[in-house]
Amino acid sequence: MTFGGSGLFNLNLRNVNREFAKVEPNLDLGTLYGRYADLYLQANPTSLELNGVPAYLNLRKLYMSMFLPFGDLSLGRQIVNFGKGTVFSPIDVFSRVDLLELTFRHQGSDVGQLAVPFSDLSGVEAIVEDPASSREHSSAIKLYANTFGWDLAAVALHRHVSEETLAAIVCKGDAFVGVYGEVVPH
């Protein structure tokens, strides 16, 4: 029988004066032991070590948001959740879930985002992912509102490398119990 495990230290910072802008970095420092360490060292022989213990760094977020008169403009690595599903949401194409973590935390994506509110509970968001690498990158637009106590959203997504376009309707509300759903035609 073998054992394995990991430890995680998360550093999450925010600027104090957020009247005109916000800067938010989030960094993970993880350590591995047992079978996890052995497998990690096989895959990454030149990995970071802390006193002989394999370690990794993960920059989950590092972005700046500017609060403009007409909306909010954000640039950098962010966690973008369009869907309501925790792990498997067909419209969360920007921030992937780390299935090896017990909490299923989302990983950040390098994006530019413009959010323009129409009211306190409605607006439009446009997001473009950085196409710098040859991997899949996406663009999306989301129109959202709250009607009769239900959060409703219509989303259009385009995945550029695979030339795939998705449309989605998302809802969340209460009908004696919490209800949410996502419908995505390909």
- Domain map (residue ranges) of the chain: 1-66, 68-186
Residues 161 and 135: beta-carbon distance below 8 Å: yes
Residues 22 and 14: beta-carbon distance below 8 Å: yes
What confidence score (pLDDT) does residue 71 get? 95
Q: Given a cut of 90, is residue 94 above it in pLDDT?
A: no
What confidence score (pLDDT) does residue 182 get? 72
Q: Given a cut of 80, is residue 153 above it in pLDDT?
A: yes
**Whole-angstrom distance, CA of residue 151 vs CA of residue 174:** 10
pLDDT tens per residue across span 42-56: 888 777 888 888 888
